[in-house]
């Protein structure tokens, strides 16, 4: 029985798919989600390890959600924008080279195509075809000479995806402490719940969920992707908890 293909090969659907933006925001979402959960839970772990008040957890955790979330989003925005600016600069360089030394630039295209298996008359025909259109010529050079994606990134959207994922998953470790402060179910502590244990369990589920969601976009089994993310997050949390314990012992 043949495997189900990931997309249709109908000519009209192929044309529509190729017209769509190729920018993938998976990386931005995964980075934001994992960093949000890891850094916030690291704060929870450190405070719990130091034996400080749950109120401190909420204050520091909330500050992390806003400050670190914005910082990460801003870094992504500036990084994506810098990539666009670099691509624009190289477009201008290639355009100037084509105008001043067309034969040299044509030879570069010829060698690029030769490295991809073109030869003989087909190589010459492909070289002429590509270099007959300056836009295609420049984009070919950007892709193969500089390794730069010709599609412009979307800095604001990338930053927004990062920030939203950071805040949503970063808030999960704080939920038991927020619920306790609001008197949920009269009192979580009064009902025998350990706030740190509750937070740890919820964060573990969040780590696993991020990895499992990632598996929908990559060739990896959902349970393996979830376990991988869980292990990385748990390691970061354990380090923070140990540091908190050590600091508390120094202050004792």
In 3-state terms, what secondary structure has residue 245? Answer: helix
pLDDT tens-digit readout, 78-94: 999 999 999 999 999 99
User: Which whole number is the average pLDDT over 97-126?
Assistant: 95
pLDDT per residue over 37-72, tens digit each? 888 988 888 887 787 888 898 999 999 999 999 999
Do residues 137 and 109 make contact, with C-beta atoms less than 8 angstroms apart? yes
DSSP 3-state of 99: helix
Asked if residue 144 lies in contact with residue 112, where contact means CB atoms within 8 angstroms, the answer is yes
CA distances from 113 to 1, 90, 136, 144 (A): 37, 20, 14, 10
Mean pLDDT for the stretch of residues 155-177: 93
Angstrom CA distances, 204 to 92, 113, 146, 174, 239, stand at: 49, 49, 41, 13, 15
Tell me the longest C-alpha to C-alpha distance in the chain. 83
List all residues 6 or more positions away from 28 whose beta carbon is below 8 Å from its beta carbon: 76, 158, 159, 161, 162, 165
What's residue 139's pLDDT?
93
Is the pLDDT assigned to residue 1 strictly greater than 50? no
Amino acid 192: pLDDT: 59
Give pLDDT, residue 118. Answer: 94
Query: Is residue 223 over pLDDT 80?
Result: yes
Which pLDDT value is given to residue 169? Answer: 93
Query: With 0-12 CB in 10 A as exposed, 13-18 as middle and 19+ as buried, what is 195?
Result: middle
Query: Within a 10 A sphere around the Cβ of 5, how many other Cβ atoms?
Result: 7
Q: Which residue has the higher pLDDT, 239 or 227?
A: 227
pTM: 0.79
Question: Is the pLDDT assigned to residue 247 strictly greater than 90?
Answer: no
Mean pLDDT of 230-234: 85
pLDDT, position 216? 76
pLDDT-derived band at 251, boundaries 50, 70, 90: low
Question: What percentage of the chain has pLDDT greater than the value 70?
Answer: 88
């Amino acid at each position: 029985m043949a495997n189900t293909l990931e997309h249709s090969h109908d000519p009209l659907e192929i044309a529509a798919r190729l017209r769509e933006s190729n920018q993938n925001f998976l990386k931005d979402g995964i980075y934001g989600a994992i960093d949000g959960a890891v850094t916030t839970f690291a704060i929870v772990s450190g405070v719990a390890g130091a034996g400080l008040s749950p109120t401190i957890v909420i204050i520091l955790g909330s500050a992390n959600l806003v400050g670190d979330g914005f910082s990460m989003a801003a870094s992504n925005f500036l990084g994506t924008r810098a990539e666009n600016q670099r691509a624009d600069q190289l477009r201008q360089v290639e355009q100037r080279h084509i105008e001043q030394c067309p034969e040299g630039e044509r030879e570069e295209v010829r060698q690029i195509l030769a490295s991809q298996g073109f030869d003989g008359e087909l190589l010459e025909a492909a070289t002429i075809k590509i270099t007959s259109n300056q836009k295609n010529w420049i984009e070919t050079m950007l892709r193969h000479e500089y390794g730069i994606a010709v599609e412009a990134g979307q800095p604001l959207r990338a930053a927004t995806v990062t920030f939203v994922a950071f805040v949503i998953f970063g808030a999960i470790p704080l939920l038991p402490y927020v619920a306790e402060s609001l008197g949920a179910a009269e009192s979580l502590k009064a009902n025998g719940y350990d706030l740190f244990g509750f937070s740890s369990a919820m964060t573990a589920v969040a780590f696993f969920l991020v990895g499992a969601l990632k598996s929908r976009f990559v060739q990896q089994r959902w349970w393996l992707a979830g376990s991988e993310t869980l292990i990385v997050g748990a390691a970061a949390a354990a380090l923070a908890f140990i540091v908190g314990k050590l600091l508390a012992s120094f202050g004792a």
